[in-house]
């Protein structure tokens, strides 16, 4: 199962303030959340860059979950550091600072083994970097991709080139509207299908997620929690769990598989938001996951 999911993105430090308290320089970044989550379903290999301030302690959650870090470059300088705060609804992060540091010059170079990856998750990074990864991988049978408003406004044409070459696109409702100019999410999803992608997954935050595809449309609610601790990384966790699960299947390209992947993404994200950083996510057992998946299925059942 070696390198079954190649995860390319950011490994970072986060400094966060919210109604539950604050943390400084905890492990964050899209590749961190997504690879730790994917590790419960497949074997992830990370391609990212960190500074010389990134310690063995910072690597511990990856090591604990068996994530392959042979593609984690260490460059002289400081690791990417993001700081933000949330108001009481946890839906919107207010960025206080973004210190790109060594991430500013990140250039993903894949090892020969990584070039043969069967599944690829392009986490939220510059579309030029996503395109460079797509040129390096040989014959992946699954490519998923995340993006954000900044890339849509600054590198839309490159992003559209990426979209033509992937299977599944993740984006939130604001980004779907921004990228297409269409407010109706189903119409926006269909416009993106016309650009060449097979499945569009629109992340709806506290309202779950929506699927738009030629095979069908669906919307799944989130796993409902009484207490939300911090929502940082929930979308990245969703993408990692979704991709990891599909990578574990012989045939991922069915409506049933995609809907199951959405369910897994929603449930795994519910663990992430129970703590700061990857603390809760990295400490799960298969029993924890199965129990919550069963509760989620019961929640949706009308029998």
Cα gap 211→190, rounded to integer Å? 10
Model pLDDT for residues 24-34, shown as the tens digit of each residue? 999 999 999 99
What average pLDDT score do residues 77-87 get? 95
Average model confidence (pLDDT) across the chain: 95
Which tokens is 219 given? 């919307």
- Least Cα distance to 209 among 185, 187, 244, 229 occurs for 185
What average pLDDT score do residues 218-224 get? 95
- Residue given tokens 């650009």 in the structure block: 195
Per the structure, how many domains does the chain have? 1
Cα gap 34→22, rounded to integer Å? 22
Q: Using alpha carbons only, what angle is made at residue 125 by residues 120 and 126, rounded to the nearest 5 degrees? A: 115
Cα gap 78→127, rounded to integer Å? 23
What average pLDDT score do residues 52-63 get? 98
What average pLDDT score do residues 271-299 get? 96
Domain span at 259: 5-300
> What dihedral angle (degrees, nearest 10) is formed by the CA atoms of 84, 180, 35, 137?
-140
What average pLDDT score do residues 202-213 get? 93
What average pLDDT score do residues 131-143 get? 97
The pLDDT, as a whole number, for residue 2 is: 45
pLDDT band at residue 119 using 50, 70 and 90 as cut-offs: very high
**The domain spanning residue 240 has which CATH number?**
3.40.1190.20
Q: For residue 182, list its beta bridge partners.
A: none
Count Cα neighbours of 112 within 13 Å in the Cβ-side half-sphere: 0
pLDDT band at residue 88 using 50, 70 and 90 as cut-offs: confident
- Residue given tokens 């400084």 in the structure block: 24
pTM of structure: 0.96
Given a cut of 90, is residue 1 above it in pLDDT?
Answer: no
Cα gap 99→2, rounded to integer Å? 33
- Least Cα distance to 199 among 137, 120, 288, 259 occurs for 259
Q: Using alpha carbons only, what angle is made at residue 176 by residues 181 and 32, rounded to the nearest 5 degrees? A: 150
């Amino acid at each position: 199962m070696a390198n079954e999911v190649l995860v390319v993105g950011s490994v970072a430090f986060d400094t966060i303030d919210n109604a539950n308290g604050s943390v400084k320089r905890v492990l964050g970044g899209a590749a961190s959340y997504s690879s730790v989550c994917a590790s419960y379903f497949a074997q992830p290999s990370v391609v990212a860059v960190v500074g010389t301030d990134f310690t063995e302690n910072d690597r511990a959650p990856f090591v604990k979950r068996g994530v392959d870090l042979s593609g984690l470059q260490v460059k002289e300088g400081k690791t990417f550091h993001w700081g933000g705060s949330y108001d009481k609804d946890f839906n919107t992060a207010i960025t206080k600072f973004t210190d790109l540091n060594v991430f500013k010059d990140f250039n993903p170079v894949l090892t020969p083994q990584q070039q043969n990856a069967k599944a690829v998750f392009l986490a939220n990074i510059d579309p030029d970097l996503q395109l460079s990864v797509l040129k390096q991988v040989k014959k992946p049978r699954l490519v998923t991709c995340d993006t954000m408003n900044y890339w849509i406004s600054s590198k839309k044409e490159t992003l559209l080139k990426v979209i033509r070459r992937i299977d599944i696109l993740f984006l939130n409702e604001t980004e779907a509207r921004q990228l297409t100019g269409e407010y109706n999410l189903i119409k926006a999803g269909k416009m993106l299908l016309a650009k060449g992608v097979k499945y569009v997954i629109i992340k709806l935050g506290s309202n779950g997620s929506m699927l738009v595809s030629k095979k069908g449309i669906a919307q799944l609610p989130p796993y409902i929690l009484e207490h939300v601790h911090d929502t940082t990384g929930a979308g990245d966790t969703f993408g990692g769990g979704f991709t990891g699960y599909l990578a574990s299947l012989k045939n991922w390209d069915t409506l049933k598989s995609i809907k199951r992947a959405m369910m897994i993404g929603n449930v795994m994200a519910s663990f992430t938001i129970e703590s700061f950083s990857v603390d809760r996510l990295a400490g799960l057992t298969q029993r924890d996951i199965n129990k919550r998946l069963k509760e989620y299925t019961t929640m949706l059942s009308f029998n």
